[in-house]
Structure 1
Amino acid sequence: MQAFPSQRSPLKRAVQAALLGACLSGGAVPLAVLADTLASDTQARDWNIAAGSLASALDQFARQAGISLSYDATSVAGKASPGLSGRFDREQALGQLLRGQGLQAQRQGSSNWLLLPQVADTGALNLGATTVTGDRLGATTDGTGSYTTGAVTIGKGQHSLRETPQSVSVMTRQLMDDQNLTTIDDVMERTPGITSYESPMGGKYFYSRGFKMLGQYQYDGVPLDMGKDYAQADSFSANMAIYDRVEVLKGAAGILKGAGTASGAVNFVRKRPQASPTTSLSLSAGTWDNYRADVDTGGPLNDSGTVRGRAAVSQQNRGSYMDIAKRQDQAFYGALDIDLSADTTLGLGASYEDVDATPCWGGLPRYADGKSAKLSRSTCLGQSWNDWQSRRATYFADLTQQLNDDWKLKVAAVHSRNLQDIKYAASEGTIAYDNPAPTAVSYAALMDYDHKDFGLDAYLDGKFEAFGLQHELILGANGSRGTQDDIYAIQNLPTRQSIYQPNHHFPEPADNTFWPNMYRGSTIKETATQYGTYATLRLRLAEPLMFIVGSRVSWYENRRQSYSLGWGEWSLQDARTKETGEVTPFAALIYDLNEHLSVYASYADIFQPQSAYATADGAALKPKIGDNYELGIKGEWFEGRLNSSLALFRSIEKNGAETDYLSFCPTSADGYCYTDTGKVRAQGVEAEVSGELLERLQVSGGYTYTQTKTLKNIDSTAEGGVSNSYVPRHMLRMWGDYQLDGALSKWSVGAGVNAQSSNYRVQTIKLEQAGYATWSARLAYRLDDTWTVAVNGNNLFDKTYYNTVGTASWGNFYGEPRNFTVSLKGNF
């Protein structure tokens, strides 16, 4: 970031005066040294200094900056630093590190600095007070200690939350660490405005603004189709040890990828190699034999620092509050950043994630009238031989070319392959009052999935001057290709299950018995290819007014071949869907009310292929289309360390798939055919805050009000009613962490709440979960400059509730009972 000429800091003026005086007086400082000193002070560069003791942070800064820092050791003893991450010049970076530490910097030579206690009229310079831009956060959140970010990258380039005219929630590294969020499920269920729904076949579906999030995932901004007809719903096994942050955009995201609903998009931003040697170690143990270890290390690999590396390893073994369920997760991650020149950086990375689990899927039944049977939360109707094996290998590559001070080119690619082998049993059937006899029907499923996803994205981002104002243009193209080669079979088991006293030791059927004896199964080969070009122009119409206009032109092709048995009938399907030149526009206005507040209005188009659904005559449904409107106000406070937002939204989707219960399609997952007569509307309010609300107090969370309505339906009696009853009308997600002061400065206390109003599901009868709230807390103690110990507690008041409401026969899942985790973390 650059200060305006009229706002040069006192340090710059002092240095320039000193250098000029030396030149005029024939001083001993050579002109070349003077030029280098000025350039190094004013040239912006990327910094990555890990949080920890102030002494460690200053040492890292001195090594990265190539200067000598002198200070009295007692002046920094016991002081902590949140670290530094972002792009600043050297003066700004030092100002950020000294902010609030009671120290001042005084230059002693071209590369020597003296740190002194902060007192009046010493002649020293308080960089924290005079360098406003030094207080700003960058896009990277690792090591900042913050619950917010200085910029998001989900929309290409880097823009602050205030400059982004849509609702975006960012789950930062510090926020994930403090709340002990280790999986994608954990992260999404703590994100404001997101609702989860657990699939009876494993994994969870996510909803935003009343709509399901279908394959709307990005890795470092590269869109993939992951989640499309995915075996484990939307929540593939993502280990958060790999990522710096998760950016969640709410609302239509068609300009990012093309195809998509009004729900939003999720961008996983991976950790990058650090500019200085840094290592962290984390060990934890918790309820239900939950043990986890993480090691994360990185830094320069050569003397010049032009080659940097990072590696992370994670291992977790855990039981469950449900009988027989257990799981083991492993993750390995490695990355390199190579400076091919001063303006060119090549990034390479790979990760491997492995899940070995005995799952408990299928959920629990209720009484025939829909009332809860109040079963123990430990109840599992599965078998001890249930097995879930998941292996995912992902490869990353990107090339960033700084063309000049204003223009940058970035090309990025991601390839991922997921293999899943699953064998499990579950039971279903309504419960009869006062009847403990084995009544539930049991079945077993055998699944073999092979999914490959490839994505490529390239864009040019630059600024230009016109009419005395600065504008920005982004031009790009991206594409993705996803293939699935799946086979599954489900057969009935001969033994009925007792709901009240489950038997977990039914005989395990041999694998070769499934296909001959199945009542439902399929072989599926599907390939979905999507590519497009996009452009976004950010025009500064006046100093306080910006107009943003963009569009994406998409080409989409899908071929699905299946041979299926469903409900007693075999069928062969070979369906092709192709969409050409589909345009998804985007437009927005942002008006700066003052230095802190901006109001905005935005519009986005919706386009979503529905080739997985077929009509009664076998034809694929035409794409879903719609409109997304948003009006809001955003605030940025304390030089970006606190962000806030309030938004009104309305989305309308047309041509939505509707189940035709009077038809029969054996290739369908539920046996029914579909029509594209659906039209729904979702509208509501979102309020969110993230960052440093008060000194030493970090907060993150928000309130969401969502109202959904069916405007048109194959069943006319449903029109005017709620279109998505899974999504609660009211939802609150809040978390805060406070660093104590004075004699208790080594302690920090965190607390949070997840609360929502009622939600329900209707299948001939209404099954409802009343509104509820669960509370969580954290207490941490800094043992020394390296080690911190913490205790996290979830569902502190042991609230019993259904996290997912299913049917009377199956699919009801309890939320986790009260649980605790003790962790020890060290930063070196």
Structure 2
Amino acid sequence: MPFSHLSLIALAVSSILTQPTYANTIADDSIEKITVSGDQYNQYKPSSTNVASKLGILAKETPQAISVVGQQQIKDFALSNMNDVLNNTAAINVEQIETDRTYYNARGFAVNNIQIDGLGLPLINDNTHGQMDMALYDQVEIVRGANGIMTGAGSPSATISLKRKRPTTDLMVNFSTTFGSWDKQRFESDISGAITDSLRARAVLSQDKSESYLDRYSTNSQLVYGVLDYAFNADTLITFGHSEHSNQSKGNLWGALTLYYGDGTATDYAINTNTSANWSRWDVNESRSFIDFSHNISPDWQLRLMYNRVRTDEDSELFYTYLTDSAVGLDPKTGLGLTGYASEYDINDKQDMFDAYVSGSFNAFGRAHELVAGASYARLDYIDVSLYDFHTGNGFPTMPRIEDFTGNTPYPEFIDGLTGGQVENTQTSAYLSARFNLADGLHLLTGMRYNRWQTQGESYNKPQLRDDDKVVPYLGLTYVLTDAITAYSSYTETFMSQKERDANWDLIAPLTGQATEVGIKADLFDGDALLTAAWFDIKQVNLAVPAAKAPNPVTGIEEDVYKAADGISSKGIEFEVAGKLSDTLNGVVGLTDFAIDGDEQVSAYTVKRSVDISLTWSPTLLDGLRFGVNAKWQEAIWRNQGVVSALYANAGQEIITHQPAVTRINLMASYDINKHLALAFNANNITNKKYLNSLQWAQGFYAPPQHYSVSLNWAF
């Protein structure tokens, strides 16, 4: 959608919301009493959260480490998409393997649970496509460790939970524009307010268009979001919302740069090097709708019904490069030895998620306790198709030196080798969670979730049949040591179905993630900041690992079979201080340090030690002036790429790709010109550090060099 059309919509909504009849007729109590997800995090300290229990308790009272990136931090450091947000925390490693496909990990495990307003399903193939625009969201919460009681199936790493923006009672009008390096142009509007005593609305529009430091790569993203809530009375609220997000990229990477020559020496390309064809593209169109109904059954009990609908349509034409002969590898003298690989890939997925629960408090044994009971149903269906060109020669062209490649390779005819899949997944759950007040300062947070995961269909000629169920427990204790300090411990689980089969051709039982955590949470600086210090121990149980080969009882053909074994485990510590650190200083300081056992390769390429600092300082000499710094340090990582072949003098030598330790520094400065107008400047990677984004795959590409942006924000 052209931005001119977005602007017209914004002006129309603005004219409606600024009618004088609304300014003095809002009865705040009629709506605010039952707003269940409208908390604003204007500073850096996390407050109440539902991400771990749906009880709405304080982050300090939750027996798991929780990080929150709120609206203030998003604005301070111009975090326009989710990758930017997560790159500004020590909680999550962002594995940017390609330009438009991203993996996340935490505590040594893949993060595959991303929820929106508390609902979500495990990511297909554990990755996201395109960019998630932050204009739609107020904040991002990250609960670390297993979170199966709230997510059902998933990984024991962490859960990322995004909260959509909701309507406000007070009129709010915000327009911003950003211009930056590589011809970046971003426009955003956010208009919210009450239309009548019982009806509120909000409209968010954004367009983000940019070239890139990478040759041939560019992106263009448009977002439209509208949401209404209606209060039937002081106890009942219904909210409707819908968003359309279109993300188009050209010259996108599929795979990335070969990182070593045949003799094992490391390649060192220019930072802008791109292996994509000039016709490469990846278009992601996403439609999201939701209904959220809340009703106060009594002063102590609430009913909530939620439905989320997601439809995603992806179309891509991709170009990959691979070693023509793995023994020869990339010729260290000529740089030759790569073949191109073209493919058209399309995927459509449909997600429907329902959740219903009651929550409230009750008295027993002379004390007040809290309870949540609910059930949910979710379905994820997807169809994907891959096509190739085997007949013209354009589908697998011989590549020149990467340094000489300009993307000028003939466009293939994508009509060959039709393959793909059609898969249906359903998750049915019932859950119960309670927080018992055992004694003064001592609380037990416990619960369980019955979860059934069913899959049917076929993917790339392999059946995808699963039917697993499991009861997932949750157990946590918090104890108030002093008014400021709370100690906690917890044991949590999650599980994932597995498609591998054993020697008897039975499906391997689900993979279970078991997480133990002990820590303290403490109020600092008169309660303006929260300290979290945690020790954790996570284990994978029942991981399917290759065992042997056995004849398929249907086809008679020998295939790989598997056995159940212990998987990866990780142990470590995390530390975070978030909030107002002094009268003039706000921010977050986070540290992560852990070790991985069970897989040397995963341990080698995973960032296990990192420090992230995001601070903003408001000098007292001039009102409205602020300075900020975001600094992230991560340890050195490496990847074993195999051994040098017999064709070279150093045959048998291990090929190791190293990424030395990295310190990335971003700076910001902003000035409130008046109460309506603000100017901001952001400088990223100011030391111009050259480093690889990830070593999770055998290929990789470089992170952006030094770049800048300037933003003008008008608010009413």
- TM-score bucket (shorter structure): 0.7 to 0.9
Aligned residue number for residue 636 of structure 2: 758
Query: Could you tell me whether the CA contact under 8 Å between 1:184 and 1:239 is conserved in 2?
Result: yes
CA distance in 2, matches of 1:619, 1:489: 32
Deviation at 1:506, TM superposition (A): 0.7
Letter in 1 for 2:572: G
Distance 1:501 1:672, change over 3 A: farther
Partners of 2:343 and 2:414 within 8 A in 1: no
Deviates more, 1:445-454 or 1:464-473: 464-473
Contact 2:67 2:91 in 1 (8 A): no
Return the alpha-carbon distance in structure 2 between the equivalents of residues 337 and 544 of structure 1: 38
Which amino acid in the other structure matches residue 502 of structure 1? F
Conserved 8 A contact 1:497-1:503: no
8 Å contact 2:362–2:369 — kept in the other structure? yes
2:618 aligned with 1:739: yes
Aligned counterpart, 1:433: 332
Stretch of structure 1 that moved more, 335-344 or 687-696:
687-696
Aligned twin of 1:275: 169
Residue matched to 2:96: 198
1:18-167 to 2 correspondences below 5 Å: 140=38, 142=40, 145-154=42-51, 155-167=53-65
1:498 equivalent to 2:401? Answer: yes
Quick one: which of 567, 576, 582 aligns to 2:465?
576
- Which residue pairs with 1:729 in the alignment? 608
Q: Which amino acid aligns with 1:363?
A: A
Question: How many angstroms does 1:577 deviate by?
Answer: 0.9
Per the alignment, do residues 664 and 766 of structure 1 end up closer, same or farther by CA in structure 2, a change over 3 Å counting?
Answer: farther
CA deviation digits over 1:709-728, x for unaligned, max 9? 01xxxxxxx6xx46533322
In the alignment, the residues of structure 1 paired with residue 696 and residue 341 of structure 2 have an alpha-carbon distance, to the nearest angstrom, of 18
Matched, 1:786 2:676: yes
Q: What is the CA distance between 1:511 and its match in structure 2?
A: 2.5
Residue 186 of structure 1 aligns with which residue?
Answer: 84
In structure 1, the partner of 2:253 is: 360
Alpha-carbon distance, 1:88 to partner: 12
Separation in 2 of the partners of 1:66 and 1:201?
45
The residue type equivalent to 2:641 in the other structure is: Q
CA distance in 2, matches of 1:672, 1:745: 68
**Aligned residues of 2:130 and 2:284 also touching (Cα < 8 A):** no
Contact 2:100 2:131 in 1 (8 A): no
**Does the 8 Å contact 1:139/1:149 carry over to 2?**
no
> What residue is the counterpart of 1:168 in the other structure?
66
Deviation at 1:237, TM superposition (A): 3.2
Separation in structure 1 between the aligned mates of residue 672 and residue 534 of structure 2, nearest angstrom: 39
Q: Could you tell me which residue of structure 2 aligns to residue 749 of structure 1?
A: 627
- Superposition deviation, residue 532 in structure 1: 1.0
The within-5 A match list for 1:249-398 is: 249-302=143-196, 304=197, 306-358=198-250, 359-365=252-258, 366-398=260-292
Q: Distance in 1 between matches of 2:337 and 2:330?
A: 8
Opposite residue 539 of structure 2, the aligned amino acid is I
**TM alignment of 1:204-215, pairs within 5 A:** 204-214=102-112
Gap runs ≥5 in structure 2 = 1-21, 324-328, 390-394, 643-654
Deviation at 1:772, TM superposition (A): 1.1
1:787, 1:825 within 8 Å by CA — same for their partners in 2? yes
Deviations 1:382-413 (A, max 9, x none): 11100111100000111000122211111111
Q: Does the 8 Å CA contact 1:237/1:353 hold for their aligned counterparts?
A: no
Of the candidates 509, 515, 518, which is equivalent to residue 622 of structure 1? 509
**1:301-323 C-alpha deviation (Å, 9 max, x unpaired):** 12x2x100000000010111110
Q: Is the 8 A contact 2:315 2:346 kept in 1?
A: yes
Aligned counterparts of 2:299 and 2:360: Cα–Cα separation in 1: 9
Does structure 1 residue 802 correspond to structure 2 residue 696?
A: no
Shift of 1:827: 0.9
Tell me the residue number matched to 1:555: 452
**Cα contact 1:539–1:547 (8 A) shared by 2:** yes
After superposition, the C-alpha distances for 1:775-819 in whole angstroms (9 at most, x for unaligned) are 011011111111111110111100111111266xx5212111111
Quickly say closer, same or farther: Cα 1:573–1:364, change in 2 above 3 A: closer
CA gap of 1:170–1:201, structure 2 versus 1, over 3 A, is closer
C-alpha distance in 2, partners of 1:157/1:297? 30
SS at 2:353 equivalent: strand
Q: Could you tell me which of 406, 410, 413 is aligned with 1:510? A: 413
Deviations 1:613-664 (A, max 9, x none): 4568865432102421000000134675322100000011022233569899
CA distance in 2 between partners of 1:293 and 1:489 (Å): 37
Amino acid at match of 1:210: G
User: Larger radius of gyration, structure 1 or 2?
Assistant: 1
What CA distance in whole angstroms lies between the structure 2 residues aligned with 1:636 and 1:139? Answer: 24
Q: Of 495, 512, 516, which aligns to 1:607?
A: 495
Q: Deviations over 1:547-582 (max 9, x none)?
A: 1111111111111313x3xxxxxxx433421113x1
The Cα shift of 1:269 comes to 0.7
Match of 1:46? none
How far the C-alpha of 1:768 sits from its partner, in A, is 2.2
- The answer for the alignment partner of 1:820 in structure 2 is 708
Distance 1:413 1:529 in 2: 15
Alpha-carbon contact 1:141-1:149 (below 8 Å) kept: no
- In structure 2, give the amino acid aligned to 1:251: G
Q: Which amino acid aligns with 2:441?
A: P
Query: Which of 340, 343, 352 matches 1:454?
Result: 352
Q: 1: distance between equivalents of 2:676 and 2:421? A: 52
Give the corresponding residue for 1:22. Answer: none
1:673 Cα shift? 6.4
Per-residue deviation at 1:357? 1.0
Count residues with an aligned counterpart. 665
Distance across 2 between alignment mates of 1:606 and 1:524: 27
Q: CA deviation at 1:766?
A: 2.8
Distance 1:394 1:335 in 2: 11
After superposition, give the CA deviation of every residue in 1:64-104 in whole Å (9 maximum; x if it has no partner).
6799xxxxxxxxxxxxxxxxx98799xxxxxxxxxxxxxxx
Assess, with a 3 A threshold, how the Cα gap between structure 1 residues 298 and 626 changes in structure 2: closer, same or farther. closer
Query: How far 1:598 moved relative to its partner?
Result: 0.1
Letter in 2 for 1:756: Q
Q: Distance in 2 between matches of 1:781 and 1:730?
A: 35
Cα distance in 1 for partners of 2:210, 2:561 equals: 41
Task: Name structure 1 gaps, 5 residues minimum.
Answer: 1-59, 68-84, 90-137, 516-520, 565-571, 711-717
Distance 1:701 1:526, change over 3 A: farther
**Scaled by the length of structure 2, what TM-score is found?**
0.88
Q: Percent same amino acid at aligned positions?
A: 26
SS of 1:223's partner is coil
- From the superposition, tell whether residues 753 and 680 of structure 1 become closer, same or farther in structure 2 (CA, over 3 Å): same
Q: Which residue of 1 aligns with 2:570?
A: 682
Match of 2:305 among 395, 408, 411: 411
Instruction: Give CA deviations for 1:499-526 in whole Å, capped at 9, x if unaligned.
Output: 12113111101232x33xxxxx632011
The 3-state SS of whatever aligns with 1:266 is: strand
Going from structure 1 to structure 2, the CA distance change for 1:786 and 1:813 (only over 3 Å counts) comes to same
Once residues 616 and 361 of structure 1 are traced to their aligned partners in structure 2, the CA distance between those partners, rounded to angstroms, is: 36
Write the letter of the residue equivalent to 1:762: N
Work out the CA distance in 1 between the residues paired with 2:369 and 2:179: 52
1:229 paired to 2:125: yes
Is residue 468–residue 509 contact of structure 2 (8 Å, CA) maintained in 1? no
Change in CA separation of 1:664 and 1:695 when aligned onto 2, cut-off 3 Å: farther
Structure 2 letter corresponding to 1:322: L
Evaluate the alpha carbon distance shift between residue 208 and residue 772 of structure 1 in structure 2; reply closer, same or farther with a 3 A threshold: same
Per-residue CA deviation, residues 333-390 of structure 1 (Å, 9 max, x unaligned), is 0001100111000011000100111113321112234443211010111111001111
